[in-house]
Amino acid sequence: MSISLVLTVIGPDRPGHVDALASAVAAHSGNWLESRMCHLGGQFAGIVRVEIPGDQEHAFRGTVKDLGLGGLQVTVTRDEAAAPAAPSRAMVLDIVGNDRPGIVRQISHALAARSVNVEELHTERTSAPWTGEPLFEAKLRIHLPESCTPAQLRADLEKITSDLMVDFTLGLKA
């Protein structure tokens, strides 16, 4: 019987990390199912979901632990079947404005107050085209519970975005 495992990985960015992970999965007759990886602040970071034969789990965990000797820290967690998700509406929230501390905290607080689930969050600090001033940009894939309408969330966000001096758009997930 196969089991699903979720790996979180982080280490100094250098060539070969993905190959080392993929080789460990293949060496234990596993299958790479999905992943998200990126380079941030000189570090390579990612999350990977793999499937391996159940009788290979212990050996696989030992193999990926050994990757730490090369500077890559790997944490392995069983992907236990979660309870079925409650009905929700998938949406995309885009935010842009002058960068300042606290934007993510205030936006995430407003989302949590309405029990909105953040499925994916991508943030970036860039420069404004004409002034060179630091800009904060965020793209969130979110799920609204049945108890929250898009209009309610939009009203909540409008209350805080003027104080934050950011603009936002809220739309259906593409």
Within-domain flag for 83: no
pLDDT tens track for 143-172: 999 999 999 999 999 999 888 889 999 998
Strands (E), 2-154: 2-12, 31-40, 43-53, 73-78, 88-98, 117-127, 134-145
Domain range holding 51? 2-78
107/74 same-domain check? no
159/110 same-domain check? yes
Which residue did the predictor score with more confidence, 132 or 86?
132
Enumerate residues 6+ apart whose C-beta is below 8 A from 79. Answer: 3, 4, 5, 6, 49
- Domain edge (last residue) among 78, 102, 134: 78
Within-domain flag for 28: yes
Within-domain flag for 143: yes
Beta-bridged to residue 97, according to DSSP, are 136, 166
Question: What do you get for the CA distance between the two ends of the chain, in Å?
Answer: 36
pLDDT of residue 46: 95
Torsion angles phi and psi, residue 164, rounded to 5: -80, -15
Residue type at position 111: L
Helix (H) / strand (E) containing 145: strand 134-145
104/163 same-domain check? yes
Q: Which two tokens stand for residue 133?
A: 């001033």
pLDDT tens track for 3-42: 999 999 999 999 999 999 999 999 999 999 999 999 999 9
- Domain edge (last residue) among 49, 78, 107: 78
Other C-beta atoms closer than 10 Å to the C-beta of 161 total 18
**Domains contained in the chain, number:** 2
45/9 same-domain check? yes
pLDDT of residue 70: 81
Q: How far apart are CA 33 and CA 146, in angstroms?
A: 30
In this prediction, residue 82 has a pLDDT band, given cuts at 50, 70 and 90, of low
- Domain edge (last residue) among 58, 78, 98: 78
